[in-house]
């Protein structure tokens, strides 16, 4: 069995825990629970016939200025950056988080999830923001509430994690 450690990184309240809950347990709650420290969950995903166990480290949300928890990030095989589409600063802050995470975990594969697309009337991102994000690599617009884009986002990361192995 292949296992991969994946960290969820993002500012407070962007929906990291909700994404994991939606993905692993297919459930969603409107209540906001601030994660303390880290929560760990697990999901087996099949990528082109290979089963991969994603061990999901759901890190507590941080201020971008704060250290994101370098210890937790250490040894990660992949990182998921989560921003909140209704709060523009959470997306722009991802640049800072990216720097910190890369310093701790190295240049590992990552995907970016812009969450809460179900809240369309509060959407705060401009086309320019998208342009900037797309440059960074795989970008997914997700909704932990409806489940839209969630499965695809995790699956894409799992693919990223498997590919180097197959090539090696």
Partner 1 sequence: MTDVSAASRSSDAPRGKGAEATLTPPHVPVVPVPPVAGGAPVAASASAPPPAPVDPRVAEMAELKRLLLDAERARLDANEARLEANLLTPENLADRLPEAIVLRASQDKQLARALAPTVEAAIGESVRRKPGEFADAIFPVLGPAIRKAIAETMAELVGSINRAMQHSFSARGLSWRIESWRTGVPYAQVVIKHALVYRVEQVFLVHRETGLLLAQAHPPHLQVPDADLVSGMLTAIRDFVGDSFSGEKEVGGLRTFSVGELTVMVEQGPRAVLAAVVRGQAPESYVRRVQETIEGVHAQFASALNEFEGDTSAFESVQPLLEDCLVTVLETDPPAGKKVNTTPYVIAVAAVVVLLIAWMMWQSTRWSRVITQLRATPGIVVTEAQRGWRTHSVRGLRDPDAPQPNAIFVAAGYDSVRVEQQWEPYLSLQPTLVLKRVARRLGAPQPGTPSYVLRGDTLVVVGALDAVWLARVARRVTWPAGVASVDLRAAQPVMPAALASPADSLVSGRVLFPAGTSQLDDAAYAVIRGAARQARKLASALGADGVSATLTLTGRADATGTDSTNASLSRERADRVRRALEAQLREGAKTPAVRYDPKGVGTAEPLPASDSTARARMNRSVSFDVRLTIDAPSGARPQ
Contact set with partner 1 (CB under 8 A): 1-5, 37-38, 40-42, 52-53, 55, 57, 69, 71-72, 74-77, 161, 165
Q: Which helix (H) or strand (E) holds 168?
A: none
Q: What's the min distance (Å) between Cβ of 135 and partner 1?
A: 28
Least Cα distance to 19 among 85, 65, 88 occurs for: 85
Residue whose CB is less far from partner 1, 139 or 155: 155
Residue whose CB is less far from partner 1, 56 or 98: 56
Q: What's the min distance (Å) between Cβ of 148 and partner 1?
A: 27
Q: Please provide residue 138's backbone torsions phi and psi, each rounded to the nearest 5 degrees.
A: -60, 125
Please report the DSSP string for 4-23 in residue order: EEEEEEESTTSSHHHHHHHH
CA distance 44 to 88: 33
Residue whose CB is less far from partner 1, 8 or 133: 8
Residue whose CB is less far from partner 1, 44 or 134: 44
Q: What's the min distance (Å) between Cβ of 27 and partner 1?
A: 17
Q: What's the min distance (Å) between Cβ of 57 and partner 1?
A: 7
CA distance 44 to 62: 28
């Amino acid at each position: 069995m292949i296992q991969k450690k994946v960290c969820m990184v993002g500012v407070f309240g962007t929906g990291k825990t909700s994404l994991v809950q939606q993905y692993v347990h297919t459930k969603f709650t409107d209540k906001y629970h601030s994660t303390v420290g880290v929560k760990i969950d697990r999901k087996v995903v099949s990528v082109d016939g290979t089963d991969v166990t994603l061990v999901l480290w759901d890190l507590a949300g941080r201020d971008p200025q704060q250290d994101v928890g370098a210890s937790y990030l250490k040894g990660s095989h992949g990182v998921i950056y989560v921003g909140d589409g209704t709060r523009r600063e959470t997306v722009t802050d991802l640049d800072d988080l990216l720097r910190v995470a890369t310093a701790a975990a190295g240049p590992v594969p990552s995907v970016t999830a812009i969450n809460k697309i179900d809240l369309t009337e509060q959407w705060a991102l401009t086309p320019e923001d998208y342009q900037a994000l797309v440059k960074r690599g795989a970008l997914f617009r997700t909704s932990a509430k409806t489940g839209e884009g969630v499965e695809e986002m995790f699956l894409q990361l799992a693919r990223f994690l498997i590919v180097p192995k197959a090539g090696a």
